[in-house]
A and B are shown apart, each in its own frame.
Chain A
Amino acid sequence: MLEINDLWVDVNGKEVLKGVNLTIPSGETHILFGKNGSGKSSLLMTIMGFRRYRVRQGRISFKGVDITKLPIHERAKMGIGLAFQRPPSIRGVKTRDVFNVCNINSVSCDELADKFNFSGLLERELNVGFSGGEMKKSELLQLLLQDPELVMLDEPESGVDLENLQILGKAINKLLEKYLWRKRAKSGLVISHLGFILNYIEADSGYVLLDGRIHCHGNPRELFKGIQRHGYRECIECQR
């Protein structure tokens, strides 16, 4: 589904990714751990194609197609979706209008909003005056409407209160559902700080990104336990 080879990326002249290699097979969900500023968000933004993230070297391919130079909206149309960590507020643009843009399968936005306790926000300007939890919910609902094949979530649980964590978990689970009787339809690349996400996703693999490089990969729960116990120090030393 997604293959990244030797990816080197600059932001305003500063190196943020230093030779990242990553493969996410179809139907698998991988989790990215790492300290603040380690390059996790930069990786997701680069995969999405944001212009600030200048690819100096390497290649990103999605469904067998080299997308390294494709504009953002073409990547979105191919089936890549990103829930932003800090989405911008856009004055004058109604949340409902953005939902309609995402809604490729013509599902009922009202029903979806109702299900996730979001109805009151549809007529509001996008993210203007939204709480942290409301923004995250808006992002996840947009992805549910966009129905991408590769779901990228950038810290979906940060800044969310306990009550809303449950609702968000439900949305994430719906996005990246894993069935016993058939292969999961979507692939996922998820950034998590708190590991809460592991309760809602059957993650297949985990990585630790430090200083723009992938240091460990392995079972996500085990990795997370290690990080909880020893911090990221062990990851720096360990090169599995």
Chain B
Amino acid sequence: MSEVRRTRAQQAKDKKSTFGTDVDLLKYQLLSDDKTDPLGLDGLTHEDRAKIIQSGIDLDDQDRAGTFFQTDHRIVHCAVKQPGLEVLPMAQALKEHAWLEELYWQAVPVDSDKYTAQAELHFQNGYFIRALKGQRVTTPIQACLYMKHDNTAQNVHNLIVAEEGSELNIITGCATAPSLQSGIHIGISEFYVKRGAKLTFTMIHDWAEEVMVRPRSGIVVEEDGLFLSNYVSLKPVRSLQMYPTTRLIGPGAVARFHSILLAPPGCELDTGARVVLEASNTRAEIISRTITTGGVIKARGHLVGLKPNVKAHLECHGLILTEEGIIHAIPELEAHRSGAEMSHEAAVGKIAEEEIEYLMARGLSEEEATATIVRGFLNVQIEGLPPELQAKVDRAIEESEKSML
């Protein structure tokens, strides 16, 4: 099976992605060695630690059910503190669980494009997280993918399984070392939410100005399963393109995507989510709040209703804070059956002067009024998000406020 996969990857290694700027992968160095022992957290510099903490990771492992930490291609730290939960480097998980072959590359086709191909052909680990049947792991598990060597490619493959009736809360922080200027991060993430399980995935990105990012994610949700994704990217990045596809395959399955994006000058964000409602009584929601201070944002969304009695809503709201900058909202609704209830709402523009002046009439200066409106705009209260993770999202927003205004 792995031979077939490799052949398919080989065939796709020059295949351009449908969306986003094409990246010349040959420009980036591929690090590799045979060492498998973890580097340990002690080797992190003071600067590394500060950067990692910013992306929501707690380096003391406190109040965490598990931790996975990888720098470039090497595992730094991998620990699990709760029974019923597995956190493993991907390579090790593939060795220990032969059954993983049945899930590996099933939610994301290996030959999707040159990035998925590179992740297979130059595999550099990643994480495997799994909650066993019926285990409710409410304490968050944290995963950090850190890039330290300049001008390199990081190719990781993550796989997350929430077994029947289980619950998982994962927070991932992806960041680059302060000294790193350029690089590419390719991250394959496959999520399997089994019957009645709940999986919350919160991702905070903190890249560098010349970094290219190409996550490729696929999610499969079974009957009565719930997948909740929160994505926050408020720091500069050269180009980020992702368009994860979720399949709701069992009746009653639910998926919700919330993203908060900021594009400073020189930054190109092409992101969105696609949800295919393949079973009856499934529900999906895609909500994005985007702000440009000079960069380009494409906010996509695609909802596909294949069965009657499905309900789906798409919401793209964009704010343009400077004269430069583009926000392009591309919402798509596709209903194949009558009785599919699907809607979208998109609004892109500047802050209404009327709103600013209204708050000024209450005593706020123009800057304070603008900040209040921007804060409100980004204030997406995410239903079902554990308070601790909501606090992380709120803090990321707070920290970036100054750079926005």
Given A90-B373, A92-B377, A93-B376, also A102-B355 (CB < 8 A): no
Residues of A within 8 A of B354 (CB): 88
Q: Confirm or deny: B35 has a beta carbon within 8 angstroms of a beta carbon on chain A.
A: no
**Which residues of B in the span 349-392 have a Cβ within 8 Å of any Cβ on A?**
352-355, 357-366, 369, 372-373, 375-380
Taking the nearest CB of chain B, how far is it from the CB of A114, in angstroms? 21
The range of chain B's interface size is: 20 to 34
Given A51-B353, A97-B372, also A90-B358 (CB < 8 A): yes
Which of B352, B362, B372 has its CB near the most chain A CB atoms (within 10 A)? B362
Residues of B within 8 A of A146 (CB): 362-363
Taking the nearest CB of chain B, how far is it from the CB of A139, in angstroms? 10
* Assembled-state Cα–Cα distance A125/B14 (Å): 49
Whether B357 lies near A76 (C-beta < 8 A) is no
Taking the nearest CB of chain A, how far is it from the CB of B382, in angstroms? 13
Whether A73 lies near B366 (C-beta < 8 A) is yes
Which of A73, A82, A98, A125 has its CB near the most chain B CB atoms (within 10 A)? A73
Given known contacts A76-B363, A101-B364, what 6 new A-B pairs fall within 8 Å (CB)? A73-B361, A84-B361, A90-B358, A90-B359, A92-B380, A93-B373
Interface residues of A (CB under 8 A from B): 48, 50-52, 71-73, 76-77, 81-82, 84, 87-88, 90-94, 97-98, 101-102, 104, 125, 142, 146
Taking the nearest CB of chain A, how far is it from the CB of B318, in angstroms? 13
Whether A88 lies near B362 (C-beta < 8 A) is no
Whether B363 lies near A71 (C-beta < 8 A) is no
Residues of A within 8 A of B378 (CB): 92
Taking the nearest CB of chain B, how far is it from the CB of A79, in angstroms? 10
* Assembled-state Cα–Cα distance A88/B361 (Å): 12
Which of A52, A76, A77, A125 has its CB near the most chain B CB atoms (within 10 A)? A76
Whether A73 lies near B364 (C-beta < 8 A) is yes
Given A73-B363, A76-B363, A104-B363, also A88-B358 (CB < 8 A): yes
* Assembled-state Cα–Cα distance A71/B368 (Å): 14
* Assembled-state Cα–Cα distance A146/B358 (Å): 14
Residues of A within 8 A of B353 (CB): 51-52
Given A71-B366, A97-B372, also A92-B379 (CB < 8 A): yes
Whether A50 lies near B377 (C-beta < 8 A) is no
Taking the nearest CB of chain A, how far is it from the CB of B260, in angstroms? 11
- Choose one: B357, B360, B362, B375; the contact of A92 (CB below 8 Å): B375
Whether B355 lies near A142 (C-beta < 8 A) is no
Residues of A within 8 A of B357 (CB): 50-51, 72
* Assembled-state Cα–Cα distance A72/B361 (Å): 6
- Choose one: A50, A71, A72, A90; the contact of B376 (CB below 8 Å): A90
- Choose one: A51, A81, A84, A92; the contact of B358 (CB below 8 Å): A84
- Choose one: B352, B358, B366; the contact of A87 (CB below 8 Å): B358
Residues of A within 8 A of B373 (CB): 90, 92-93
* Assembled-state Cα–Cα distance A81/B375 (Å): 25
Measured CB to CB, the nearest residue on chain B to A75 is: B361
Taking the nearest CB of chain A, how far is it from the CB of B350, in angstroms? 14
Whether B358 lies near A102 (C-beta < 8 A) is no
Residues of B within 8 A of A142 (CB): 362
Whether B377 lies near A98 (C-beta < 8 A) is no
Residues of B within 8 A of A104 (CB): 363
Given A102-B363, A146-B363, also A90-B375 (CB < 8 A): no
Taking the nearest CB of chain A, how far is it from the CB of B150, in angstroms? 39
Taking the nearest CB of chain A, how far is it from the CB of B249, in angstroms? 34
Residues of B within 8 A of A77 (CB): 363
- Choose one: B355, B362, B366, B375; the contact of A76 (CB below 8 Å): B362
Taking the nearest CB of chain B, how far is it from the CB of A149, in angstroms? 13
